[in-house]
Amino acid sequence: MLLSACSKQAPCRVEGQVRDRATAVPIAKAGVSVGGASTATGADGRFVATATQCRELRVTATGYVAATQPIVEGGSVIVELGAIEAVSKVGHLKINGSGR
């Protein structure tokens, strides 16, 4: 996620893009919360939020590990979401007998 930084003291505007850590593909419909304001990313993974406090940003998306990132004044930060690794184990069942 690419962010523009804002002042921690005054209301601010935060904008950026949420993307997959492994592929850099934008993530649509990710939830973005900052300073009590919430929004969702568009189809291109981009968002804009206006907040009363800019201390940290929290991003959530289905299938990804949520991320919280402090917002650094005077610079930009990059935060990317990592996918949740879904591991399933399939057991094998062997049936012996006549089925009676």
What tens digit of pLDDT does each residue of 20-60 get? 999 999 999 999 998 888 999 999 998 888 888 778 899 99
Residue type, 59: V
What tens digit of pLDDT does each residue of 89-100 get? 444 444 444 444
The pLDDT of residue 16 is above 60: yes
Query: Which CATH class for the 1-100 domain?
Result: mainly beta
Half-sphere exposure of 82 toward its Cβ, with a 13 Å CA cutoff?
5
CA distances from 37 to 5, 6, 22, 86 (A): 15, 14, 28, 31
More confident residue, 82 or 71: 82
Q: Environment class of residue 16 by beta-carbon count within 10 Å: exposed (0-12), middle (13-18) or buried (19+)?
A: buried
Every domain of the chain and the residues it spans: 1-100
Query: How high is the pLDDT of residue 52?
Result: 80
Spatial contact of 93 and 50, defined as CB atoms under 8 Å apart: no
